[in-house]
Amino acid sequence: MRMTKHTAVLQVLICILLISLNGYSQEHPNLILTKDGVQKIRAELGNAPLFDATLAKVKAEVDAEIALGIETPIPKDYSGGYTHERHKRNFLILQKAGVLYQILNDEKYALYIKDMLFQYEGMYKDLPVHPQTRSYARGKLFWQCLNDSNWLVYVSQAYDCVYNYLTKKERKQLEKNLFRPFADYISIENPQFYNRVHNHSTWGNAAVGMIGLVMNDEELIHRALYGIEDDGLPIGAKDNDGGFIKVEGQEVGFLANVNEPFSPEGYYTEGPYYQRYAMYPFLIFAEALHNVKPDVKIFEYKDSVLLKSVEVLIKLSDADGEFFPLNDAQKGMSYKSREVVTALDIAYHYGGHNPELLSIAEEQGQVLLDDSGLAVALGIRDGKAKKFQKKSINLTDGAKGNEGGVGILRYGNEDMTLVYKYAAQGLSHGHYDKLSFSLYEKGTEILQDYGLARFVNIEQKGGGNYLKENTTWAKQTIAHNTLVQNETSHFGGKYEVGSKHHSELYFFDDSNPEVQIVSAKETNAYPGTEMQRTMALIKTDGFEKPFLLDILKVVSKTENQYDLPFYFKGQVMQTNFDFTTPKTLEAWGSANGYQHLWTEGIGSPKEDNTKLSWLENGHFYTLTTTSSKDDDLRFVRIGANDPEFNLRRDAGLVIRRKNTQNTTFVSVIESHGNYSPVSEFSVNSNSAISKIELMSDTNEYTSVLIETKSNGEQLVLVVANINKQKDKEHTITINGKEYRWTGPYKFIKVK
Amino acid sequence: MRMTKHTAVLQVLICILLISLNGYSQEHPNLILTKDGVQKIRAELGNAPLFDATLAKVKAEVDAEIALGIETPIPKDYSGGYTHERHKRNFLILQKAGVLYQILNDEKYALYIKDMLFQYEGMYKDLPVHPQTRSYARGKLFWQCLNDSNWLVYVSQAYDCVYNYLTKKERKQLEKNLFRPFADYISIENPQFYNRVHNHSTWGNAAVGMIGLVMNDEELIHRALYGIEDDGLPIGAKDNDGGFIKVEGQEVGFLANVNEPFSPEGYYTEGPYYQRYAMYPFLIFAEALHNVKPDVKIFEYKDSVLLKSVEVLIKLSDADGEFFPLNDAQKGMSYKSREVVTALDIAYHYGGHNPELLSIAEEQGQVLLDDSGLAVALGIRDGKAKKFQKKSINLTDGAKGNEGGVGILRYGNEDMTLVYKYAAQGLSHGHYDKLSFSLYEKGTEILQDYGLARFVNIEQKGGGNYLKENTTWAKQTIAHNTLVQNETSHFGGKYEVGSKHHSELYFFDDSNPEVQIVSAKETNAYPGTEMQRTMALIKTDGFEKPFLLDILKVVSKTENQYDLPFYFKGQVMQTNFDFTTPKTLEAWGSANGYQHLWTEGIGSPKEDNTKLSWLENGHFYTLTTTSSKDDDLRFVRIGANDPEFNLRRDAGLVIRRKNTQNTTFVSVIESHGNYSPVSEFSVNSNSAISKIELMSDTNEYTSVLIETKSNGEQLVLVVANINKQKDKEHTITINGKEYRWTGPYKFIKVK
């Protein structure tokens, strides 16, 4: 037996051993559906509108598939291709058919499952490894073990639903020829896939665990929870996304995958897009463990982190419910996805019936067809739903919550949202951007994070897989709204280096809704250079809406060239500087993402402040930033060296400051006014700021001033750069005027 | 007295003379509101929800303005600037305040109007011509007479509402110092603005006529209806948009402006964007004439064309109610605009209470605060609304309906809509594109018409006026989905030439909803070259959705270079041809719009068919087109030579066929499948077509074949190019097979 350092893990282990020694026999279904639960569901049919509606939809979908007949083609394609999509559809339908069989007690669903399972059984025995070779862990039904694991997670549920419908002999045949070898293939035969801390492994662990629970196979259950003891993998091996497979001292298995990537509050280090993806195996296997092995107390594990993480995931979305695209993330993914339906229903049911989750379930418009989904539907029916309040929040990263984090500042009813990333690398799906940010007005991106370069499951685009532009563009620092030094990415774009570091929170304060502020420091991205970025969301008189104040202080041991991009979306309205637009467009650079940027215009500051206004989605926006006279101001357009049109033609303005050692960029982004193409009224189309100024900037203190046009009011923010103690008193004199305050910063209306 | 050739006009004239000889005295209000109407409105208050809601909103808006106080600044700015927007807001509020005074009988509104009118009176007397000089007809309150006319159209209504509130002496003072000189200034002193057939003049005529009706000033009324008799303008003069001011034999005045730009069905030659703009003065003045001078029978004039035109305007919109951007048109303008609210309510009330108009009024969410708006609100309240059915329709252009037209083919519930333009020039707002088209799926543009290059009323962008790129890009033929010969625009881009010509309808047949077809010819765009373009919207087995078949036949006396662009929106998914993307982007050409196109990629056909697939708004689209092996296939991106970022960075694929005399382009555009970033399912992402072929092509007949992938079915369309008689029998032999049919075309499923 393998000993661990963690008492919690040990306790779980002992429980399982005790249970398995008892050797009690199981009734079915008991995995996701339970015998009691099914009785309760049947009793409520017709009385829980959202459940009934989901059931009707699922029934129509499955009936249509049954009418089409069963197809289990020989595996051939990448994702997006026919065989991939067919097998994917099969496992989704099998799971649903199982549920229908239990709830509706109609044998046709059981028969359909049985027939398809035996078709798979007949095929799997002799199936070679999938012919497509791109994956570091090729599957059999699919091009990668990951998708094979998806299959088994879903099909285990179907198997559980028809377990008692099948004869003992039939079960034996399926388990011997299909399920057991399937589970072994994705685990023992592919430890480089199975034995990691990674969303891939979470799927693999859950798959092995769930079929183990149905088969009552303690060996598989143990392998699911704790991984493979002796995997023979070399330390430092990498997958085809460049992620580490094995790190020295790495714990593995499902529990390790709960322990490591989640911070104590429930932030998942890969970011919300992959958290969403992983939530399904995390929560569905947890529900199964809860049902079959209640003594594991999985929902209480690591201070209930799995339940917490569901609410965190929802908080990581914009006003339309779309996830912030931190790290690799396909834009448009939202909490309406099927994975989050599952996670949310389970979190509601097993997490204390938080009524705010019900309003999200209403938006999702569907529920799980199990006990938890019924609970949600009944809660909604009984009018218990409350609006989910997305407030400002600071989320730590890292298993212990000490590896940086993500700060989210929200004003009003998500009227304006800042997403500020000072996190850890985020495993192999991480991007090289520290102290970067994106800004939203409701569900509209104002300053964007590019997201990933991939068209998930669209076969025409590189088999639906990551495109090379994901590495050459999307992951690079210049693709993000943060500082680039000497045209190189943070950590030299090296995963090994980036994985060792994270930024540090300096302070976060959302106690005053009119002046919310977050500050963080990064000292490792460029050795010898220290960056501190302080961002504040401020609403005050003279401004129609809150504005974002951005102070980026750079202190270096050497002279460097600094680039600070702002990827605005929309149409340029006005600048206060002159620029020329070249007759021919050339790529700005040759590496680190610069090779993908066309230079569309180039100019230099005319005044102490540089201004750019643009119009997007019926709103006007203005960036005002302090300038040095030698700055270059460059309009860029994404899309150079993009031979297959994989990139969007989005725009940015990059401020370049050359031959500079220490400098501080001060910028304000305002949203103001509106324009409607129907009324053709243009309202409040100008910035409210007459000037911004870096008033003083020392090692210890940085102070900035914002002056408004309407009433000449002066707003000052002073930041103590070294001592952040809340009770520390500060006194400084700026331009002959003394400022006194307590704590790491002070916002003052001077006039 | 001026004699005309038209009996109708003469009758109207006699009526007016008779009425004015009677010299009866008027009661007020009588222009838009009437004494009886106001009584009826007051009686229904609280019982007509949409009317009540509009009233509440208008009251809140006007009350807020009254609280802010009256401002009538000295005119200074272009549109978008402060003085412009302030005076514009004033006239809108004055009109509303008048209505509130009448309906709510609250003197504060009358007092507000009186005070503001006297402020204008005090200012206007000594007001010089507006300081901004860009217009061919500068106003006094605004930079152009057009906006001054807007002011008077609205303010006349306010004046009518407070007419009896004012003393005779006050009225005399206002009329002497403000209204009469105002009316004279925009007419007698600016005949180049007033005495035209143009939307400008319509506003001018209506302004003069409406104040004339309130003042009971027969001279002004006559001037409104028939223009200025002796304007002293030279024949051939042009305005600053390049439009003709005076043409030989031109009739002028309001009635001429009803006669000329409207076709008999009610299509307005400038296109729907400007029709929408002109609808307000057309309909509001018509309503006023109807109320004050019922004997004019304005709503019956020219076979009730004004009433018809309102329904036509609605039919010229996509599924979201946004107008097709034919000619100069700002995208996003829709039938929810205030002008169309006015036009629709009046058309409903005076046009026989068409219940389909009520469903549009519901979408508009507001009504006019007068008799007609009340009628609409009561109709909706009483459940009379029916869905407005937008069907396929062929609209002729030209006063007599013999100057080409616009064909619209719709499938299903606006699931797919073709907009095919074979119209006349469309006056000064016309673009140089004959036989061009755009394609919509519901409210989404699939292949777009660029629209105009202007940001209406946004001061930052060239004062909100037309940008030079409107001339150099948006009006040019290459900016449209139609044929360009030798890199020159149709008619050499010359307005004088284009204005003399129009395309000719060959046939239009929407009798079979599964095969709808329109064909037109153009022989003047390039002298010596004849084009015939036949477009069919076809829904048949093997296709998920209807597809568009496009056959463009070109016959020339000389060898030429032909360019055929397709401006697709969205992300390139796949091509079946190889192309290279240049290291630097260069403008394609130096003139006629080509200077605004970057060459983003260039290739040549690999097979007999060229295919391009793209993804937009969650749908896949594929263009399949027959290729000649020497064709160039060029990906273009709009935005070269655009020093102020005035243009959108949209994409296109252009097929270039060089050194060719006669040729026929055959293309199919399919919409297929879907992709959701939430489910990440990619469904039916491939074209259903295995090949298309030009089977035969002679002077007399063109036949094309489409073969489907799923079942190898062959679809054939044969077009008789010369004889379009419906009862004509045709027989031809293609590839040894005989085809017989009657009429101009035949669609056949071969296998």
Q: Which CATH number do you get for residue B650?
A: 2.70.98.70
Q: How far apart are CA A428 and CA A433, in angstroms?
A: 14
| CA of residue A394 relative to chain centroid, distance | 15
Identify the domain boundary among A390, A413, A430. Answer: A390
Nearest CA in chain B to A596: B583
Contact yes or no for B333 and A643 at CB 8 A: no
Q: What residues of B are in contact with residue A583 (Cβ under 8 Å)?
A: 586-587, 641
Residue B502 within a domain? yes
Contact yes or no for A331 and B677 at CB 8 A: yes
B378 shares a domain with B256 = no
Q: Is the dihedral of CA B534, B540, B543, B546 positive or negative?
A: positive
Contact yes or no for B457 and A682 at CB 8 A: yes
Q: How far apart are CA B63 and CA B52, in angstroms?
A: 16
Q: Is B680 on the interface with A (CB under 8 A)?
A: yes
A409 shares a domain with A369 = no
Q: Look at chain A and report how many structural domains it folds into.
A: 3
Contact yes or no for A337 and B685 at CB 8 A: no
Q: What residues of A are in contact with residue B677 (Cβ under 8 Å)?
A: 330-333, 456
Enumerate residue ranges in chain A where pLDDT < 50: 1-4, 15, 17-24
Contact yes or no for B458 and A644 at CB 8 A: no
Residue B25: pLDDT band with limits 50, 70, 90: low
> Which distant-in-sequence residues (6+ apart) come within 8 Å of B638 by Cβ?
B450, B473, B596, B597, B598, B647, B648, B649, B650, B651, B652
pLDDT at B18: 46
Residue A719 within a domain? no
From B601, B675, B679, residue closest to A458, measured CB to CB:
B675
> What does the pLDDT look like over A497-506, one tens digit per residue?
999 999 999 9
Contact yes or no for B85 and A682 at CB 8 A: yes
> One-letter amino acid identity for A261?
P
Q: What angle do CA A266, A268, A271 make, to 5 degrees?
A: 135
Q: What residues of A are in contact with residue B643 (Cβ under 8 Å)?
A: 580-581
Identify the residue whose tokens are 């390139």. B572
Q: How far apart are CA A276 and CA B440, in angstroms?
A: 34
Distances (CA, A) of A19 to A296, B33, B134: 10, 86, 89
**Helix (H) or strand (E) run with residue B89 in it:** helix B82-104
Residue B39 within a domain? no
> What does the pLDDT look like over B136-181, one tens digit per residue?
999 999 999 999 999 999 999 999 999 999 999 999 999 999 999 9
CB A650 within 8 Å of CB A638: yes
Tell me if residue A668 falls in helix, strand or coil.
strand
Q: What residues of B are in contact with residue A600 (Cβ under 8 Å)?
A: 639, 645
Nearest CA in chain A to B581: A643
Average pLDDT over residues B522-542: 97
Q: What residues of A are in contact with residue B674 (Cβ under 8 Å)?
A: none
Q: Is B236 on the interface with A (CB under 8 A)?
A: no
> What does the pLDDT look like over B498-531, one tens digit per residue?
999 999 999 999 999 999 999 999 999 999 999 9
pLDDT at A478: 98
A298 shares a domain with A181 = no
Q: Is A459 on the interface with B (CB under 8 A)?
A: yes
Query: Which residue in A84, A198, A349, A429 is the catalytic one?
Result: A429
Least confident of A11-20, A727-736, B236-245, B728-737: A11-20
> Which tokens sit at A585?
């467009």
> What does the pLDDT look like over A552-576, one tens digit per residue?
999 999 999 999 999 999 999 999 9
pLDDT at B81: 87
A228 shares a domain with A339 = no
More confident residue, B22 or A50: A50
> Which distant-in-sequence residues (6+ apart) come within 8 Å of A79 by Cβ?
A85, A142, A143, A147, A456, A457, A459, A463, A464, A465
Minimal CA separation from A328 to chain B, in Å = 14
Residue B82 within a domain? yes
The rounded mean pLDDT for chain B is 95
B385 shares a domain with B520 = no
Contact yes or no for A334 and B455 at CB 8 A: no
Q: Is A681 on the interface with B (CB under 8 A)?
A: yes
B490 as an active site residue: the answer is no
> What does the pLDDT look like over B581-605, one tens digit per residue?
999 999 999 999 999 999 999 999 9
> Which tokens sit at B591?
């003139």
Q: CA B681, B682, B683, B684: dihedral to nearest 10 degrees? A: -170
B602 shares a domain with B613 = yes
B209 shares a domain with B81 = yes
CB B29 within 8 Å of CB B38: yes
pLDDT at B80: 81
B429 as an active site residue: the answer is yes
B92 shares a domain with B70 = yes
Backbone φ and ψ for A534, nearest 5 degrees, come out as: -115, 125
Residue B31 within a domain? no
Q: What residues of A are in contact with residue B457 (Cβ under 8 Å)?
A: 675, 680-682
Does the pLDDT at position B689 exceed 90?
Answer: yes
Minimal CA separation from B580 to chain A, in Å = 7
B69 shares a domain with B167 = yes
A523 shares a domain with A433 = yes
Contact yes or no for B583 and A581 at CB 8 A: no
Identify the domain boundary among A390, A422, A446. Answer: A390
pLDDT at A247: 80
Residue B29 within a domain? no
Does the pLDDT at position B1 exceed 70?
Answer: no
Q: Is A586 on the interface with B (CB under 8 A)?
A: yes
Q: Which residues pair with A231 in a beta bridge?
A: none
**Residue among A277, A645, A710 with most chain B CBs within 10 A, to mutate:** A645
Residue A664 within a domain? yes
> What does the pLDDT look like over B458-502, one tens digit per residue?
999 998 999 999 999 999 999 999 999 999 999 999 999 999 999
Does the pLDDT at position B241 exceed 90?
Answer: no
Segment 309-338 of chain A within 8 Å of chain B by CB: 330-334, 336-338
Q: Determine the structural domain holding residue B109 and report its residue range.
A: 1-22+56-260
Residue B20: pLDDT band with limits 50, 70, 90: very low
**Residue among B57, B339, B460, B590 with most chain A CBs within 10 A, to mutate:** B460
**Residue among B458, B572, B620, B683 with most chain A CBs within 10 A, to mutate:** B458
CB B359 within 8 Å of CB B331: no
Identify the domain boundary among A628, A662, A685. Answer: A685
From B571, B584, B613, residue closest to A584, measured CB to CB:
B584
**Residue among B84, B685, B687, B709 with most chain A CBs within 10 A, to mutate:** B685
Residue A625 within a domain? yes
Q: Which residues pair with A547 in a beta bridge?
A: A538, A670
pLDDT at A17: 47
Minimal CA separation from A277 to chain B, in Å = 11
Average pLDDT over residues B46-58: 97
A540 shares a domain with A456 = yes
Q: Which CATH number do you get for residue A102?
A: 1.50.10.100
Contact yes or no for A571 and B681 at CB 8 A: no
> Which tokens sit at B101?
């005074």
A290 shares a domain with A147 = no
Contact yes or no for B333 and A460 at CB 8 A: no
